[in-house]
Structure 1
Amino acid sequence: MFGSVLRQFSRISLNQLPLQASGRSICTTTALQFKITDYLCAEPMKKKKKIDPAIVRAREERRRKKLEKQIRRLQKNARQLKPIDEMEVPLHLLDQIQKRSRGPPQISQEVQEERALLQKEWTRYKRQEYMAHVAQIDRIMAAQKRALDRLYEESEDLYNEAIMPDLQLIPYSVTGPVATPPIKGYESPDGDYLDVSKKWND
């Protein structure tokens, strides 16, 4: 209703309206609307309490002692290895260790003597095998030396060619050190992984 009255009133020209002698004029601008300012969540500032400097020093001292205790605890467990779950014995098995433990079996005297004789026989067999192997190597080296001596008597050039290593037999090439020398004073990390991949902002 108020809007319709304003629209009708806006159509009337100022020339058609009689001016009052009191000096009042008619405003043709839009009607003023009610506006509310933003509310502010504020409260009076609290008065600061004066604290005894001795209490402040005591708090700082307690905080410092707590930090020192944590640092000592970390230093004590600095080189402690991280546990491997696959190698940890379950707790229910540790509780049953008395039930699961078995003593050594009782072996009769005859079985002990039989095992001792079997051990001696196996030792003699391995010694004979080793001696036969060493004798075979000695025979091969002696035959090689005799062949080289006869070749030297025949031709010195052929002898020099025979004792030259055959580089084509086992091809071998080296490009650099196969292992990095150890760094003195370096402590390897205990299974830690540091992600150094680049992160791009969207």
Structure 2
Amino acid sequence: MRAEPKKKKKVDPKREIVARERLKKKLKKMERVAPEFIPIEDFMTTSKHQEESRIRSAPQLSAEEQERRALLLKKWALFKQEEHKVEQRSIESLLESQRKALDELRLESKELYEAAVRCDPTLFPLESRGPCHTAPIPNYNPPDGKYNDITKVYVQQ
């Protein structure tokens, strides 16, 4: 019983058409009404909300709470320091193993070593140009360039 799919009710095609027509009418009504724009003043902070008296002061903490927070900060700094050291050690070990592999490759074949050490310019597509802004050249007369003058000229008759 539980695995049997539910039987779909037979839908009257006329009812379905009427429902679609109602939806079309609602859409047309919504399209006719112009969207309301929010005034830009609603996004600006008024001067009464910018008063310095409205700034909340930090709550006064007890000495025990201050001590607890200071110890927590020290523990966090120690944790992050250890995390950094572990990361640095793993990077150093990877570089060391790479260096050893390159040394072994050099002993096997000089050509393979040269190919492995060669830089790949397609690895990081870098395109560098000179400076964009330079000092102005004295007495330089720049060309006007080509352009179509479309200024309308009105003649009085």
TM-score normalised according to structure 1 size: 0.42
Superposed displacement of residue 167, structure 1: 3.0
Question: Residue 71 of structure 2 corresponds to which residue in structure 1?
Answer: 117
Question: Against the structure 1 CA distance between its residues 97 and 152, is the aligned structure 2 distance closer, same or farther, given a 3 Å change threshold?
Answer: closer
Report matched runs for 1:46-57 at 5 Å.
Answer: none
CA gap 1:91/1:143 in 2 versus in 1, 3 angstroms: closer
* One-letter code aligned to 1:117: L
Query: In the TM superposition, what whole-angstrom CA distance separates every residue of 1:64-98 from its partner, at most 9, and x where no partner exists?
Result: xxxxxxxxxxxxxxxxxxxxx9998634346x643
User: Where do 1:60-99 residues align within 5 Å?
Assistant: 90-93=46-49, 97-98=52-53
- The alpha-carbon deviation at position 135 of structure 1 amounts to 0.4
Q: Name the larger-Rg structure.
A: 1
| Shift, 1:165, TM fit | 1.4
Residue type of the partner of 1:181? H
1:151 corresponding residue in structure 2: 105
Shift of 1:161: 1.1
Query: Does the C-alpha gap of structure 1 residues 164 and 103 become closer, same or farther in structure 2, counting only changes over 3 Å?
Result: closer
User: How many Å separate the matches in 2 of 1:116 and 1:198?
Assistant: 72
Superposition RMSD in Å: 3.3
Q: Under a length normalisation based on structure 2, what TM-score does the superposition of the two structures give?
A: 0.52
One-letter amino acid matched to 2:133: P
Change (3 A) 1:173 1:112: closer
Residue by residue, what CA displacement relative to the aligned partner does 1:170-192 show, whole Å, maximum 9, x if unpaired?
4x253744x622658xxxxxxxx
Count of aligned positions: 102
Residues 199 and 87 of structure 1, relative CA distance in 2, 3 Å threshold: farther
In the alignment, which residue of structure 1 is the partner of 2:120? 166
Which structure has more helix as a fraction of its residues? Answer: 2
Separation in structure 2 between the aligned mates of residue 175 and residue 135 of structure 1, nearest angstrom: 34
Kindly provide the amino acid, as one letter, of the partner of residue 104 in structure 2. R
- Rate the CA distance shift 1:151–1:103 in 2: closer, same or farther, 3 A: closer
State the match for 2:132 in structure 1. 180
Q: What corresponds to 1:136 in structure 2?
A: 90
**Inter-CA distance 104–174: structure 2 relative to 1 (3 Å threshold):** closer
The answer to which structure, 1 or 2, has the higher relative contact order (CA under 8 A, 6+ apart) is 1
- Give the Cα–Cα distance (whole angstroms) in 1 for the partners of residues 112 and 82 of structure 2: 39
CA shift, 1:101, in A, is 4.0
Cα distance, 1:111–1:183 mapped onto 2, change above 3 Å = farther
Q: Give 5+ residue unaligned stretches, structure 2.
A: 1-40, 137-148
Task: Say yes or no: does 1:201 pair with 2:139.
Answer: no
Question: Structure 2 CA distance, aligned partners of 1:93 and 1:173?
Answer: 49
| Consecutive unaligned residues in structure 1, runs of 5 or more | 1-84, 185-196
Q: Percent same amino acid among aligned pairs?
A: 28
Secondary structure in 1 aligned to 2:80? helix
Q: Partners of 1:120 and 1:157 in 2: how far apart?
A: 53
Please tell me the residue identity of whatever aligns with 2:48: H
